[in-house]
A and B are shown apart, each in its own frame.
Chain A
Amino acid sequence: MSVTIKEVEHIAKLAKLSFNKDEMDLFTKQLNEILNYVEKLNKLDTTNVEPLSQVIELANVFRGDTVGKTISTKEALKNSPSQMEPYFKVPKVIN
């Protein structure tokens, strides 16, 4: 399987990243090299193998629905690039 520049452009759009022409060429080439390498997995028959997503197989870790200490609005806004308390400020969404 190999990816085309067009597909890489689509992936970039999904990932919310933009690249110039040179970067796009380089990334396409490198992604293809990596994808060719991982192709190796298809040599393995994995029928009837359960996917493993949690290595120590903990399941359903619950906690009580109790009120705890949380950060204040002021603190939450401290790292924001633009704010108008109590809101994060972003570019206009609706024209």
Chain B
Amino acid sequence: MHSVSSYSYDDFLNQTPDNNNSVLNIVEKYLKNIELRKNINAFTEVYNEESIANAKKTDQELKSNNKKKLSGFVIAVKDIISIEGKKLTCASKILKDFTSLYDATVIKKLKDADAIIIGKTNCDEFAMGSSGENSSIGKTLNPVNEAKVPGGSSSGSAAAVAANFSMGSLGTDTGGSIRQPAGFCGIVGLKPTYGRVSRYGLVAFASSFDQIGPFANNSRDAARILEVIAGHDPLDSTSANIPVPNYLEKMNGDLKNLKIGLPKEYFDDSLNPEIKKSIELKIEFLKSKGVKFVEVSLPHTEYTIPAYYILTTAEASSNLARYDGARYGHRSKNSNTMEEMFVNSRSEGFGNEVKRRIMLGTYVLSSGYYDAYYKKAQKVRRLIQKDFLDVFKNVDCLLTPTSPTTAFNLGEKTKNPLEMYLSDIYTVSVNLAGLPAISIPSGKDKNNLPIGIQLIGKHFDEQTLLKIADVCENNLN
């Protein structure tokens, strides 16, 4: 096994099984890597003994030719997804001592496929944030450059893959929380179509936006994870009953006859010139593979961030009303009445960004403002989705930057929430429209920081994105 970078499942499958590359050996190396770079703070909990026991078991199974889809695939899980018997903190003080009573559907599926879950990853509290700095156990560092943020909110999941703490990971994406950290850390991050992956067992932030998806070193591994976790689930009434394709089978390198749209609103002056240059190179490369490019327009782009923050904070204020100190979670010691218990438990338990969003959401839903804000934003959401549906009549997918900049400095945007929100400018529209999108690495800037580019697909067409991503990766140099 490589000691430093991008060990993929194909590397694992292609090597001759012996003692040096047993699953046990791989897991031990990951555990050692985690120990060596503890300062990255990627995990809320590491399952040392359990992953070693599972690795030994997998080695036995493999010896008896009992190979499942993800046997030996070592995966880390954002600590906002339930694993039975394990702590589920959402990186929040309010859930510090909470233990999950059941497996999320994605976890059950990973376990059934014999994946090895190595630990739970740090994140912005309740997945609210774009830098990984809003965690009750402290910020996560970017493994590529420790003075920079790893991105957020799935900060630890991105860092874990980038630092070679695991082969892949699960994150969640409400407005870019998989794609933006994938871009900042130089790895692949896929946000599936809304409804593609069951949310059963995922702690809700904004229910009509949230989606679980994979991080990996390459799109083939992302495809492998997606194929396992995707599919209809009767336990999530918003999950779609649409067959899951065999993604790898169709990642055959053939991009002829594909037409990709370049939304002009995503290439304006606010885009960092180095990122722009990197995208131009990628376009030239894809043209050489037979892809056609056309400029398209998504005229409502400037309204995406306002609509997003109204709708997601409204949903959050409602979803987070359940944390009241009564049945689970933190209860304030200084509470003599029920009302005090509610107010004090919530005020002590939530961090500032979560409070800010609950306040904004409560405001936009409050009497007299509902129509002006919430309903208005829902109407704008329709227009934003229509922009995409219109351009998809003419193109197969879209290519855009993932973020306007590469990874920014730790502490750079913590004082100004609005500026932090604007770092998601290229990612939130996808969640408003419910589309799938992938961020793939596309070289580095002059400071040696990874650049991410985003491909946005039609509803339930993750396949096309993965196919293009795969071809791009094979030509990274």
A residues near B, CB below 8 A? Answer: 3, 7-8, 11-12, 14-19, 27, 30-31, 33-35, 37-42, 44, 46, 49-56, 58, 61, 63, 71, 75-76, 78-82, 88, 90-93
The B287-336 residues at the A interface (CB cut-off 8 A) are 300, 302-303, 305-307, 309-310, 317, 321, 324-331, 335-336
- Contact of A91 with B381 at beta-carbon distance under 8 Å, contacts A34-B417, A38-B373, A58-B195 already known: no
Closest to A39 in B: B306
- Contact of A16 with B336 at beta-carbon distance under 8 Å, contacts A33-B418, A41-B306, A90-B326 already known: no
Contact B327 A79 (CB under 8 A): yes
- Contact of A11 with B240 at beta-carbon distance under 8 Å, contacts A49-B383, A75-B101 already known: no
Docked pose: A75 CA to B302 CA in angstroms: 48
Name the segment of B20-28, B273-281, B341-349 touching the other chain.
B341-349
Contact A55 B98 (CB under 8 A): no
Contact A82 B331 (CB under 8 A): yes
Binary contact track B352-363/A, C-beta < 8 Å → 1, others 0: 000110111011
Chain A hits for B317, CB < 8 A: 15
Contact B356 A27 (CB under 8 A): yes
Contact A42 B362 (CB under 8 A): no
B residues near A, CB below 8 A? Answer: 97-99, 101-102, 193-195, 208, 234, 237-238, 240, 300, 302-303, 305-307, 309-310, 317, 321, 324-331, 335-344, 346-347, 350, 355-356, 358-360, 362-363, 366, 373, 375-383, 385, 417-418, 421, 432-434, 459
- Contact of A81 with B328 at beta-carbon distance under 8 Å, contacts A55-B434, A56-B434, A58-B195 already known: yes
Cross-chain contact of B344 among A18, A33, A46 (Cβ < 8 A): A18
Contact B381 A79 (CB under 8 A): no
Closest to A40 in B: B306
- Contact of A16 with B342 at beta-carbon distance under 8 Å, contacts A44-B383, A54-B208, A58-B238 already known: yes
Closest to A83 in B: B327
Docked pose: A7 CA to B366 CA in angstroms: 11
Chain A hits for B340, CB < 8 A: 91
A-B pairs with beta carbons under 8 Å apart, 23 shown: A11-B359, A15-B346, A15-B359, A16-B324, A16-B343, A16-B346, A30-B418, A35-B360, A35-B363, A40-B306, A44-B300, A44-B380, A51-B378, A52-B379, A53-B378, A55-B385, A55-B433, A55-B434, A56-B194, A79-B98, A90-B338, A91-B338, A91-B340
Docked pose: A91 CA to B336 CA in angstroms: 6
Contact A52 B378 (CB under 8 A): yes
Closest to A13 in B: B343
Chain A hits for B343, CB < 8 A: 16-18
Q: Lowest 7 CB-CB distances: which A-B pairs, in order?
A: A55-B434, A51-B378, A81-B331, A79-B328, A38-B306, A52-B382, A46-B379
Docked pose: A35 CA to B361 CA in angstroms: 11
Chain A hits for B376, CB < 8 A: 41-42, 46
Chain B hits for A61, CB < 8 A: 237-238
Contact A8 B359 (CB under 8 A): yes
Docked pose: A17 CA to B188 CA in angstroms: 38
Docked pose: A75 CA to B101 CA in angstroms: 7
Closest to A7 in B: B363
Cross-chain contact of B355 among A17, A80, A92, A93 (Cβ < 8 A): A17
- Contact of A46 with B383 at beta-carbon distance under 8 Å, contacts A56-B195, A88-B327 already known: yes
Contact A31 B234 (CB under 8 A): no
Cross-chain contact of A34 among B97, B350, B418 (Cβ < 8 A): B418
Closest to B300 in A: A44
Task: Beyond the given A76-B101, A79-B327, A91-B335, please list 6 additional residue pairs across the A-B interface where CB-CB is below 8 A.
Answer: A11-B362, A17-B355, A30-B418, A38-B377, A79-B328, A79-B329
Docked pose: A37 CA to B303 CA in angstroms: 10
- Measured CB to CB, the closest approach of chain B to A19, in angstroms, equals 8
Contact A52 B381 (CB under 8 A): yes
- Measured CB to CB, the closest approach of chain B to A69, in angstroms, equals 10
Docked pose: A57 CA to B196 CA in angstroms: 13
Chain A hits for B336, CB < 8 A: 91
Contact A31 B238 (CB under 8 A): no
Chain B hits for A17, CB < 8 A: 343, 346-347, 350, 355, 358-359
- Measured CB to CB, the closest approach of chain A to B232, in angstroms, equals 10
Closest to A82 in B: B331
- Measured CB to CB, the closest approach of chain A to B383, in angstroms, equals 6
- Contact of A56 with B378 at beta-carbon distance under 8 Å, contacts A8-B359, A40-B303 already known: no
- Measured CB to CB, the closest approach of chain A to B327, in angstroms, equals 5
